[in-house]
Structure 1
Amino acid sequence: MIEFVFTPDDVARVRFAFSPLCEMVRSLRVLADPSGHALHLPWVHAVRPRLRGLGIEPLREVVPPAGYYPDFLTPPPVGPLPDLDAELDIVRATPPEAVAAELLFTEGGAPPSRTRLLMAADPERTLQTLVDLLERYWAVAVEPFWPRIRDLLEGDVLRRTNALAVEGAAGVFGDLHDAVSWRSGTLHVDRRWSFRGGLAGRGLMLVPSVFVWPNVSVMVPPYQAMLSYPPNGVATLWETGPAAGDRKDALAALIGRRRAELLTALATPASTTELARRMDVTAGAVSQHLGVLRACGLVTGHRMGRRVLYVRTPAGDALAQS
């Protein structure tokens, strides 16, 4: 069991970010064990042919299907807006002694593999090899799918940031994951290993991740404490065509079929591009319908960086759920 004991200062420093690097590293586990991550099978089938000849065996060696992988591969995000190049620069700056120590660490004290021993014997060269492979792997396996992944992550950050402002820590942690619970100022995370301690006034970084599904991932001090969890709506990530479900005839008759579909799809925040992909229509058509829904007070937009995410208003929620 992991137990983070919060002070008032720590509660004030709960913040959100997401990480292209963390997604990329965790996706390697999905490839290694698709049966344990069945939600992502459409991605696995699409990516496997692209990996032929890429030579990612060293990455597979250091990122096993389960258990520990070196912490230096997934440093906590330094800001709310992701920048893969900046994250890789942080990895490149890892001290050689830290690279070697983390490559040699194994759960349960089992001896490291011969390959791990060879990698740890030349940590500087190993680090450069791993970063180079991560860049190549990103280009073929993650970057083509990044826009839809980013939309889902940004939507979750928006939703939970609003919950934090309105309901405090209990509103954020209440439905984060079945393994996570908040009681009397302590965050409990059900894991196979144990930790209990404070956060030294540095707070907690919450990092939604599609590829961590169906689990959660925790990083504890002396690193920046970080909890990574599946975002709300992750089950819709690889959907194409109109959103599934029985559309209410009365709602469609009132505002039109496409607008009813849009309002239903906005149960989780999404961008115009993501909505167009999920509904299999043009982005222009989505923008036109969103304009009508916004003018009626049923949806609103929130800018995140250069992009706008749309979400239902309370009136939109009431109409969609009636």
Structure 2
Amino acid sequence: MLAIEVGPVDVARTRFAVPPLGEAVQALRVAAGVQVGGPLRPWAERIAPRYERLREQVPAVGALTALFRRGAYNADFIHPPPPSGSGGFAAELAAVRAPPLHRARLELARNPAGLPTPPRQVQRILGAPDVVARLADALEASWQALVEPHWPRLRAVLERDLVRRAGHLAAGGWAAALGDLDPRVHWRAEGRSGTIEVRTGPRAAWDRRRPDGEGLLLMPTVFGTLISYVEPPWRYALVYPARGVADLLGPGGAHTGRRGPGPAGRPAPRAGAAGAGRARDDDAAGRPPRPEPGHRRQPPGGPARRRPGHPHPHRPVRPLRPHTPGRSPGRGLTTAGRPAGPPETDT
């Protein structure tokens, strides 16, 4: 188990980030079946043909997925935490390409401990003198195929979670920020200081770390799970699942624009219109169900009106489509996909 001992200064110096490279790595883990899909299983099933084409076109993708492990060491240079002031995916990918070959060899030698012997094609790629460049190319191809077409809307989900959690940290400290981060993360207060306990690995062994006033880097993820970074030279970091992922990528979510079955065989409420919580309130109060999309209830004296700029209450949900450069990704966001006026973050 991991114990990160923090003090008052660490609260002020904790930063948040939305790293696109991390989402590409985690999306590839889900697509490869290395990571349990959970609410992302429908997404993994939908993109399975695209993933198989990716493996055929870029053989190094198979070598990259052969390195993925759950609950054990993964080569650090493949998925480093984003540097402060990250310039997006291109800047993070440049950091992947930067390590010298001897360091990459050491990490790749440590990575497969306990894994089955990989196929010969994978061994040839991992033993090649240009292995760093080939694995970086595989990451870039995975980003382009799996994540980039939908990045503006995915980033909006991540930044919404980030803004919410940054507000909790500023208003209530670690207890408020970590309360619903992940069931495996707990806050133990000790006066003005305390310990962030991350329950991974054997329960009898504690790995105690101190950021020494540098704070943490907190990163929400759509495709990933709880991940901790405590290895030098990088800053201590926690990756945690963002809220609202199932609504975006799960069945009946905005990714497909389709409606999945609901309780008792009824159609599930549409995301973005009358949400699931609102529908349950209606049932509990004994009120009649809302009209189906396409049916307009008109009050006496004329057709129903809506305020300019407000979405129609029964308009079908827009499916998650690739973003067209130069167009705004959605209401309430700038063209860069950021909510207006967020706290200081690294994206």
Could you say which structure has the greater relative contact order, defined with CA pairs below 8 angstroms and 6 or more residues apart?
2
* Equivalent-residue separation in structure 2 for 1:34 and 1:43 (angstroms): 15
Equivalence for 1:13: 13
Deviations 1:211-259 (A, max 9, x none): 11xx311110312111000012222122035224244569999xx9989
2:183 to 167, 178, 182: 178
The answer (yes or no) to whether the contact 1:217–1:229 under 8 Å persists in 2 is: yes
| Aligned partner of residue 42 in structure 1, secondary structure | helix
Question: Shift of the alpha carbon at 1:103?
Answer: 0.6
Note closer, same or farther for the CA distance 1:236–1:79 as it changes in structure 2 (3 Å cut).
Answer: farther
- The code of the aligned residue for 1:50 comes to R
- The code of the aligned residue for 1:3 comes to A
Q: Does 1:32 align with 2:62?
A: no
Equivalence for 1:199: 211
Equivalence for 2:222: 210
Q: Does 1:54 align with 2:47?
A: no
Note closer, same or farther for the CA distance 1:154–1:82 as it changes in structure 2 (3 Å cut).
Answer: farther
Worse overlay, 69-78 or 235-244: 235-244
TM-score between both structures, scaled by the size of structure 1: 0.73
Runs of 4+ in 1 over 3 A off after TM superposition: 64-67, 79-82, 106-122, 246-253, 256-259, 275-278, 301-311
Q: Does 1:227 align with 2:238?
A: yes
Note closer, same or farther for the CA distance 1:101–1:81 as it changes in structure 2 (3 Å cut).
Answer: closer
Larger Rg: 2
Aligned-residue CA RMSD in angstroms?
3.7
Question: Shift of the alpha carbon at 1:161?
Answer: 1.2
Q: How does 1:1-322 map to 2 (within 5 A)?
A: 1-33=1-33, 36-51=36-51, 52=53, 53-55=56-58, 56-64=61-69, 67-79=72-84, 83-106=88-111, 113=118, 118=124, 121-122=127-128, 124-184=129-189, 185-192=194-201, 194-212=206-224, 215-222=225-232, 223-238=234-249, 239-240=253-254, 241=257, 242-243=270-271, 244-245=275-276, 246-247=278-279, 277=319, 307-308=338-339
TM-score between both structures, scaled by the size of structure 2: 0.68
| Aligned partner of residue 83 in structure 2, secondary structure | coil
| Aligned partner of residue 21 in structure 1, secondary structure | helix
| Aligned partner of residue 36 in structure 1, secondary structure | coil
| Aligned partner of residue 80 in structure 2, secondary structure | coil
Question: Shift of the alpha carbon at 1:6?
Answer: 0.8
Question: Shift of the alpha carbon at 1:112?
Answer: 6.6
Deviations 1:113-149 (A, max 9, x none): 5767655544x50001011111122111111222221
Structure with more helix by fraction: 1
The answer (yes or no) to whether the contact 1:180–1:189 under 8 Å persists in 2 is: yes
Deviations 1:252-279 (A, max 9, x none): 99xx9989xx99x9xxxxxxxxx8558x
Structure 1 vs Structure 2: percent identity of aligned residues?
Answer: 35
Deviations 1:65-85 (A, max 9, x none): 664321111111124666000
Question: Shift of the alpha carbon at 1:307?
Answer: 3.5
Question: Shift of the alpha carbon at 1:22?
Answer: 0.8
The answer (yes or no) to whether the contact 1:18–1:80 under 8 Å persists in 2 is: no
Worse overlay, 173-182 or 71-80: 71-80
The answer (yes or no) to whether the contact 1:11–1:169 under 8 Å persists in 2 is: yes
* Equivalent-residue separation in structure 2 for 1:89 and 1:258 (angstroms): 49
Worse overlay, 218-227 or 180-189: 218-227
The answer (yes or no) to whether the contact 1:16–1:80 under 8 Å persists in 2 is: no
* Equivalent-residue separation in structure 1 for 2:235 and 2:107 (angstroms): 17
| Aligned partner of residue 155 in structure 1, secondary structure | helix
- The code of the aligned residue for 2:57 comes to L
The answer (yes or no) to whether the contact 1:20–1:82 under 8 Å persists in 2 is: no
* Equivalent-residue separation in structure 2 for 1:230 and 1:80 (angstroms): 22
